[in-house]
Structure 1
Amino acid sequence: MLTGAGYELNGVTGEGIVDGSRPNGGPATAPTSAATGAYEKDAFAGNWSDTAYAICATA
């Protein structure tokens, strides 16, 4: 069962925008993972990544 979630942008300091951070699951299904989406604010020539974190525990 998901108890918390977060994200990290790597290599895109000041130029990356997270536009979504959401768990899976729904009204009848407990969430078990998390996902994020991100984009560049301005054109950025470097390599960067978006990492999602899920904190889970046994019910």
Structure 2
Amino acid sequence: MNGVINSNVGNNERGLLPYPIILAANKGEPEAMKVVVLHYGSYMTSLSMRKIRDDQGNTYW
């Protein structure tokens, strides 16, 4: 797994992780899971947010 985690992820034009890292993360490899969370963390955060309104009509995320 060492060679896969250290692969050059930043050069991928589409922003996708290499398939071996996804497979390793799916199998529970801690280092690969960390790479996935670091790579997609901001995207997951944006998906987990929703708008709410208080009693005065103010909108919050």
TM-score (ref. length: structure 2): 0.23
Higher strand share: 1
Q: Which is bigger in relative contact order (C-alpha 8 A, separation at least 6)?
A: 1
The structure number with the bigger radius of gyration is: 2
TM-score (ref. length: structure 1): 0.24
Higher helix share: 2
